[in-house]
Structure 1
Amino acid sequence: MADARAVLRRYFDEQRPMSDGARASLMRTAAILTVVGLAGFAFILWSVVNNAGAAVLDEPLRQWFVELRAPGLDGAMWLFSLVTGPVFLPILMAVLTAGWIWMGKHAWRPTMLAGGMLLGVLIAIIIRDTVDKPRPSQSLMVLFHPDHTYSFISGHTLGATNFALLGFYVLYSRHKNPKPWMFWGGLALAVLWILASASSRLYTGFHWFTDVTGSIYVALVILGLVIAVDTRHTAVPLNAASEGEGAPVVS
């Protein structure tokens, strides 16, 4: 039993020496993301239930994406929908998590990434079965077989957004010498990935605008929770780290 605890401690204990101000800044960022995500999702949910607010954009944007369809775009939209779908993305996450743990000899960060992704799946299922919002007409669905499940929220978009934002966080937050261009460049790539995934769901006719928007707000909540849990678990005072207290620092 002692050996098992030692193995778990080795793989899951991680320290990030930081000042009180840096720790407070991370917790404040986590709180802001969570509040913004909850407020945004509440507005989108109200819009869906009352067919008002942001929901007035559902039909115009659906028509716009239908008119946008062209052979040159079909391949790209098919690819994004496939990659962020319920088959490819879980396989990718399983391989990535196992490979990261095996090669990196630590499990905290890959577990946070995989855990956040799994939390998104559970939330999407609960919301979808609770709200019961119909999808757009099946006659307008292209590139894949028609989907008969409920529409709100978009699991594809939520998975893609979680993967981009959580992946960006767990990588950038551990960089030993982060530069501003790394942050803004990484964030820009994440945003482009999210927009491409959301657009693919609208283009193929499987979701409404409120579906993908609601998913993005949920992802912000999950990101806020992950940052808070990660900071609470790994942040240690600079003086404690210098005195050798606690677990080893994992780079």
Structure 2
Amino acid sequence: MNGTRGVVDTLITEIATEIATAEIAIWTVAIATVAIVFSVFAQRRARFDQNVAAIIGWATVRVAALLAMLIVLAVQVARSGWLTGADTATLDWFVAHRSPIWTTVAIAVTTVGGPAGVAVIAVVVAAVVGWKRRAIGPAVLVLSPVVLAGTASTLIKHVVGRERPPVAAHMMAETDFSFPSGHVTATTALVGAVLLVVWADAAPGLRARSTATKLTATAAALMVVAAVMMTRLYLGVHWLTDVSAGALLGATAVAAIALLATVVGLLSGRDREYAGAEVAVPAPPYALPRGSK
């Protein structure tokens, strides 16, 4: 028994060591990015052909690709791998470019974009969306990624156990672990969930949103996430890999919930305005054609 356990421990150590290398990190990120981009176009073709199996399959590919990047980043951080090389330099740059005005802005943004602030906003947005759509489904679609991402963030923080930057760099008090950023995770999950609703097919009786509206919403969502990421670095409470992991985790939660919504919608056979909503990173989510089974 002890011999078998030793072999397993050695194997796990070897795998973790390999993942922490620069070559594995680069190849994983590159392959995952290509898979995500390709899945977007492949899924659009599948939607045109009304190929339900392919639609679900390519959505699964995106979730797997995002998870792969998140896992590699977590191992890199735990092992002080190649991907952490820019952490110190990035933190030093933000600390060197502080000013009273930007400090006020950063504190305001990070307060609103914190887990508590995002939770309140998510509840309000979910209530409004549910009321406008006259259905609970879209409201659940908004709340689910936020809950999933928040839970996963807490678990990963304790598993990785990364310390925050030196206290001397902090501009606000933070006591929990650093990886991933809870602020960025929550914000990404919320804006991603909103995009799912924005890009989903319009409910019966409602006018479909224009492409310009959808693209504007997507651009605004990206700017919001970027703003929260920069404020956490500016305030000296996170490393670059922390905020990057937060964005990845939030996007993964959205992708996973979108996939689940697709499967549940198809299995139930119901025609819901949010059924089949798919998330594509960096492209926006799509919905199944009405009447698909």
TM-score bucket (shorter structure) = 0.7 to 0.9
Q: What is aligned with 2:18?
A: none
TM-score (norm 2): 0.69
Q: Distance in 2 between matches of 1:110 and 1:64?
A: 40
The 1:53–1:179 alpha-carbon spacing in structure 2 relative to 1, beyond 3 Å, is farther
Whether 1:37 aligns to 2:66 is: yes
Match of 1:193 among 210, 220, 224: 224
**Does the aligned pair in 1 maintain the 2:150–2:182 contact within 8 Å?**
yes
Secondary structure of residue in 1 paired with 2:50: helix
Letter in 2 for 1:33: R
**2:84 aligned residue:** 55
2 CA distance for matches of 1:189 and 1:23?
Answer: 31
2:175 matches 1:135: no
Distance change >3 Å, CA 180–CA 250, structure 1 → 2:
closer
**Paired letter, 1:52:** G
Choose from 157, 160, 170 the match for 2:184: 157
- Mapped contact 1:26–1:227 kept (Cα < 8 A): no
Q: Aligned residue for 1:240?
A: none
Contact residue 113 and residue 186 of structure 2 kept, 8 A: yes
Aligned to 1:15: none
Q: Is the 8 A contact 1:33 1:220 kept in 2?
A: no
1:181 to 212, 216, 220: 212
Quote how far apart the aligned CAs of 1:26 are: 4.2
Deviation, structure 1 residue 29? 4.5
1:71 aligns with 100
**Structure 2 residues not aligned, in runs of 5+:** 1-46, 275-293
- The DSSP-based 3-state class of the residue aligned with 2:224 is helix
Distance apart, 1:107 and its partner CA: 0.6
Q: 1:22: how far off? A: 6.3
Whether contact under 8 Å (1:26, 1:228) holds in the other structure is no
- Say whether 1:170 aligns with 2:197: yes
Question: 2:260 matched to 1:233?
Answer: no
Deviations along 1:50-74, one digit per CA (max 9) or x if unpaired, are 2122111110000011012112212
1: CA distance, partners of 2:117 / 2:147: 14
Q: Which residue is equivalent to 1:113?
A: 142
Q: Does 1:221 align with 2:252?
A: yes
Aligned to 1:3: none
Q: Which moved more, 1:218-227 or 1:119-128?
A: 218-227
1:62 and 1:92 mapped to 2: Cα distance? 29
5+ long unaligned stretches in structure 1: 1-17, 237-244
CA displacement, residues 166-200 of structure 1 (integer Å, 9 cap, x when unaligned): 11112211346454433432222111111111111
What is the count of residue pairs matched by the alignment? 224
Deviation (angstroms), 1:247:
4.6
**CA distance, structure 2, for counterparts of residue 123 and residue 111 of structure 1:** 18
Residue 85 (structure 1) aligned to one of 92, 99, 114: 114
Task: Identify if the C-alpha distance between structure 1 residues 66 and 110 changes in structure 2 by more than 3 Å, giving closer, same or farther.
Answer: same
Whether contact under 8 Å (2:265, 2:272) holds in the other structure is no
In structure 2, what is the Cα distance between the partners aligned to 1:29 and 1:191? Answer: 23
Query: What amino acid is the match of 1:76?
Result: V
Whole-Å Cα distance in 2 between the matches of residues 131 and 246 of structure 1? 41
Structure 1 residue identity aligned to 2:244: T
The correspondence for 2:241, drawn from 198, 210, 217, is 210
Q: Give the letter for the 1:160 counterpart.
A: T
Q: Match for 1:98 among 106, 122, 127? A: 127
Residue deviations 1:37-93 (CA, integer Å, cap 9, x gap): 112112211210121221111100000110121122122211210111132221222
Taking only the aligned residue pairs, the percentage that are identical comes to 20
Cα distance in 2, alignment partners of residues 28 and 250 from structure 1? 21
**How far apart, in 2, do the equivalents of 1:226 and 1:47 lie?**
26
- 1:37·1:219 contact (CA, 8 Å) conserved in 2? no
**Alpha-carbon displacement from aligned partner over 1:116-143 (angstroms, at most 9, x marks no partner):** 100111101100111110001122111x
Say whether the 8 Å CA contact 1:135–1:206 is kept in structure 2. Answer: yes
Over the residues paired in the alignment, what is the CA RMSD in angstroms? 2.4
